[in-house]
Structure 1
Amino acid sequence: MSGFVLVERPASGVAVVTLNRPERMNAMAFDVMVPLRERLQEIGNDNDVRAIVLTGAGTGFCAGADQSSAGRPPHADGLTRPGYALRSLEMLEDVIGTVRRLHQPVIAAVNGAAIGGGLCLALACDIRIAGPQAYFRAAGINNGLTASELGLSYLLPRAVGSSHAADIMLTGRDVDAEEAARIGLVSRLAPAVVDEAIAIGERIAALSQPGIELTKRSLHAGIAAGSLESHMPVEGIGQLYLRLLTDNFEEATRARKERRPAVFTDDR
C-alpha cells in the first residue's frame, strides 16, 4: 500500500509527495488516500521540511473517485451501508483537512488530470502550478450527483470567483491549463511543473519558518473572515509576534545593506 505514495527530498527543506498509481490516474482509492494522509501527517511533524510539493505519477494528478477499485476505508468492518458511506466520506474529507492543516505551504504540481476529488485536492493546496497537459473538471455533475464535494463549493469560488466557479461546477466541462491560469485557478504555467514547484519550495524554505507559517495561517483566516475589520488584528498580531520575539527584521535590514541573502537564525 505504501508504494502508492512516494516521498522524496530533492532539495534542502523541500519534500515531494507523489501519488503513485499511474495506471488508475492516481484516483482516490483508499489504498492511496490512507497512506497519503499518513505521509502528510509525518511530513507535517518534520520541522526540517519547510515546503511540500504534491504531484501525481504518470499523466494524471488525481482522477477523483476510483469507481472500479476503491478499496475499503479503515475501521469499516460491521458498518451498515449508510455507515460505510459516511465513514468513507469522512476519511476523504480528512485528507483534504490534513493538507489544509499542515504547517508548511503545499504546492500542487498539477501534471495532468485533476478531476472531481482531484480538483478538490489541488484546491486544498496553497499554491497551484499547472503543466501543459493539466486540466481540471468538477465531475460530480456529470455523474448525476452534485458538483459539490470535499470542500469544492467553498474553495473554488474563493480561488476563481463565483461566476467562474458556477460555470465550472454547473457544466462539468474541462478547464485546460491556459484557462486555469487566466482565471486564477493556478498561479502559473510551467513546462517542467515539478521542477518549478520545487524551485518555489526552495525559495519558501530559505525564508523565516514562523513567518511563512503565520502567513499561511493569515491567508486561511482571511478566506474565512467575516470582514476586513475582524481580520486585520489577526495579521497585526502575527507581525508583532515576530517583530518582538525574533531578530529577523534586523537581519533582513542588514542583509539588504550588505547586498547578501538574509539568514534567519532565530527560528531554526
Structure 2
Amino acid sequence: MKSLDRSYRTLSLEQVAPGTVVLTLDRPDRSNAMTNEMFVELERAALDLDQEDELRVIVLTGAGAAFCAGYDLADADGLADLGAIAMLNQQERAARALVAVRSVRVPVIAAVNGAAAGGGLALALQADIRLAAPEAKFNAAFVRIGLTAGDLGTSWLLTRLVGPAVASEIAFTGRMVHAEEAERIGLVNSISAPGALLADALALAERIVENSPGGVQLSKRALHANLEIGSYAAAIELENRGQALLTRSSDMPEALAAFKEKRRPVFKGE
C-alpha cells in the first residue's frame, strides 16, 4: 500500500495481514496525547488509507500503556489567548482528523489498550467496534479542565452508544469508566484477556476480511447514514439502493457459486 510509505512523527502504520493495517498512536512518552501535528497526520493517514482499494480493516491502537490521553495539556496553555477565529480553526483542525477516521469506508476497530481520556475517548468513539484490554479506562475529562463534553463528536456518539442518561452522568462528572463497566453499558464490545487485545482485534479483522468487501463497505455506509436519517422509510430506501448496487458486483454471483460448489468464495470487491 502506498500509504504505508509515508513517514509520520506521531503515528505508525503497519500492514499486518492482507487487507489489514494497524494504525498506532506513537507518542508513548506522553501517553499518546494529541497535538496539532498528530491531528494533521491522523487526518492525512485516514484520507490516504481510504484511497487504498486493497484495504479491508483498520485496527487503531496506542503505543505503550495508554490508548490516548486526550489533548496534550503542554500545548494547551495558549488556547485561552487565541482569538475567536483562531480558536475555531484549532477546533476544526482537531475535528477534521477524527471525522476522517470515522469516515474511512472500511471498518475501524479500536483496540483500547489503556486510558482513553477526553479527546482519546472521542477518538475511540469514532471506531465502528471497540475492544478493550482489562486495564482500559475511559473518561470525558472535558469538564475537569473547564471545557464541554460537546467536543469532537463525543456528545453525539456517546449518547447513541450508552443512552442519554448514562452519557449525561459520564459527561457531567468526568469520572472514570473502567473496562468492566464499559462492556456492561455498551461502550466497548468485549474485554480481552491480559495480553490478548491486539490478537483479538486482528482475529476480528480476519473474520471481516473474509467477507465481500463491497458488502462490508456498504453495510458500514448504511449503518452510519441511518443513524442520521429521521425515518424508517428513508432507511429502507437507502438499504434498497445498496442491495441493488451490490447485485451488479462480481462478489454476489461468486458467493452463490461457492455455496453451490461447497467451497470458500474468492471475493474481489469489484
TM over 0.5: yes
Q: What are the Cα deviations for residues 148-197 of structure 1, in whole angstroms up to 9, with x where unaligned?
A: 21111111111111121112111111111111111111111113212211
Q: Does 1:229 align with 2:257?
A: no
Conserved? CA contact 1:14–1:50, under 8 Å: yes
- Cα distance in structure 1, aligned partners of 2:245 and 2:78: 45
1:80/1:22 CA distance change after superposition, 3 Å? closer
> What code does the residue aligned with 2:240 have?
G
- Which secondary structure state, in structure 1, belongs to the residue aligned with residue 74 of structure 2? coil
- Cα distance in structure 2, aligned partners of 1:182 and 1:43: 32
Q: Does 1:211 align with 2:211?
A: no
Query: How much identity, in percent, do the aligned residues show?
Result: 43
Of 38, 58, 80, 2:64 maps to: 58
Match of 2:4 in 1: none
Q: What are the Cα deviations for residues 38-63 of structure 1, in whole angstroms up to 9, with x where unaligned?
A: 12211111111111111100111111
Task: Map 1:12-161; keep pairs closer than 5 Å.
Answer: 12-69=18-75, 81-161=83-163
Unaligned runs of 5+ residues in structure 1 are: 74-78
Conserved? CA contact 1:29–1:65, under 8 Å: yes
Residue 72 of structure 1: how far off its partner (Å): 9.8
- Cα distance in structure 2, aligned partners of 1:134 and 1:261: 37
Q: Does 1:263 align with 2:269?
A: no
- Cα distance in structure 1, aligned partners of 2:17 and 2:175: 37
63-72 vs 87-96, which moves further? 63-72
> What code does the residue aligned with 2:266 have?
V
Residue 82 of structure 1: how far off its partner (Å): 2.4
- Which secondary structure state, in structure 1, belongs to the residue aligned with residue 73 of structure 2? coil
- Cα distance in structure 1, aligned partners of 2:52 and 2:140: 33
- Cα distance in structure 2, aligned partners of 1:72 and 1:255: 60
Of 183, 204, 209, 1:200 maps to: 204
Of 13, 16, 24, 1:7 maps to: 13
| TM-score normalised by structure 1 residue count | 0.91
- Which secondary structure state, in structure 1, belongs to the residue aligned with residue 243 of structure 2? helix
Residue 210 of structure 1: how far off its partner (Å): 1.3
- Cα distance in structure 2, aligned partners of 1:169 and 1:80: 25
- Which secondary structure state, in structure 2, belongs to the residue aligned with residue 156 of structure 1? helix
Conserved? CA contact 1:30–1:71, under 8 Å: no
CA RMSD, Structure 1 to Structure 2 (Å): 2.0
Residue 27 of structure 1: how far off its partner (Å): 0.7
- Cα distance in structure 2, aligned partners of 1:95 and 1:180: 25
- Which secondary structure state, in structure 2, belongs to the residue aligned with residue 38 of structure 1? helix
Conserved? CA contact 1:96–1:121, under 8 Å: yes
Conserved? CA contact 1:4–1:20, under 8 Å: yes
Q: What are the Cα deviations for residues 65-119 of structure 1, in whole angstroms up to 9, with x where unaligned?
A: 111146999xxxxx96323211110100001110122111111110001111111
Conserved? CA contact 1:54–1:109, under 8 Å: yes
Residue 204 of structure 1: how far off its partner (Å): 1.7
> What code does the residue aligned with 1:211 have?
G
Match of 1:76 in 2: none
Aligned length: 261
> What code does the residue aligned with 1:124 have?
Q
- Which secondary structure state, in structure 2, belongs to the residue aligned with residue 235 of structure 1? helix
Residue 145 of structure 1: how far off its partner (Å): 2.2
Conserved? CA contact 1:129–1:187, under 8 Å: yes
| TM-score normalised by structure 2 residue count | 0.91
- Which secondary structure state, in structure 1, belongs to the residue aligned with residue 13 of structure 2? strand
- Cα distance in structure 1, aligned partners of 2:78 and 2:256: 54
- Cα distance in structure 1, aligned partners of 2:201 and 2:23: 12
